[in-house]
């Protein structure tokens, strides 16, 4: 079962990271690999659901986009961040770095 395209059913992206927090996130990203690939079929509900599921487990992920045009990859990364929702920390080439803060763990 996929979530509808209604933002009301999604988690909030959370507060926007500050410049220093973004710098720290980019540093952490050096140690991770792209876990998901957005293919030629673009942002299907299945892709969005997988990105949301991955962000529920890990607050920082990399997503590789199967897109050769830099402008289209940038547009796709922004659309992905908007529809998930999450924060686009950076995009380098075909790889987007996405962040959504995990909720605090309840004891």
Percent residues over pLDDT 70 in the chain: 90
pLDDT over 90 at 13, yes or no: no
* Region of poorest pLDDT, from 8-17, 40-49, 62-71: 8-17
Say what the pLDDT of residue 74 is.
94
Give the CATH architecture of domain 33-99. 2-Layer Sandwich (3.30)
Q: Are 61 and 47 in contact (CB under 8 A)?
A: no
Say what the pLDDT of residue 25 is.
96
Question: Rounded to two decimals, what is the model's pTM?
Answer: 0.85
Q: Quick one: which of 89, 65, 92 has its CA closest to 76?
A: 65
**Domain ranges, ordered by start, for the chain:** 33-99
Q: Would you say how long the chain is, in residues? A: 107
Say what the pLDDT of residue 90 is.
97
Can you tell me the mean pLDDT for 28-42? 90
């Amino acid at each position: 079962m996929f979530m509808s395209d209604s933002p009301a059913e999604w988690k909030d992206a959370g507060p926007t990271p500050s410049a220093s927090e973004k710098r720290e996130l980019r540093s952490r990203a050096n140690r991770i690999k792209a876990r998901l690939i957005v293919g030629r079929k673009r942002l299907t509900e299945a892709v969005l659901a997988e990105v949301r599921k991955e962000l529920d487990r890990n607050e920082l992920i990399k997503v590789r986009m199967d897109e050769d045009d830099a402008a289209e990859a940038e547009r796709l990364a922004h659309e992905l961040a908007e529809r998930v929702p999450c924060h686009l920390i950076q995009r380098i080439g075909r790889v987007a770095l996405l962040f959504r803060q995990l909720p605090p763990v309840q004891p």
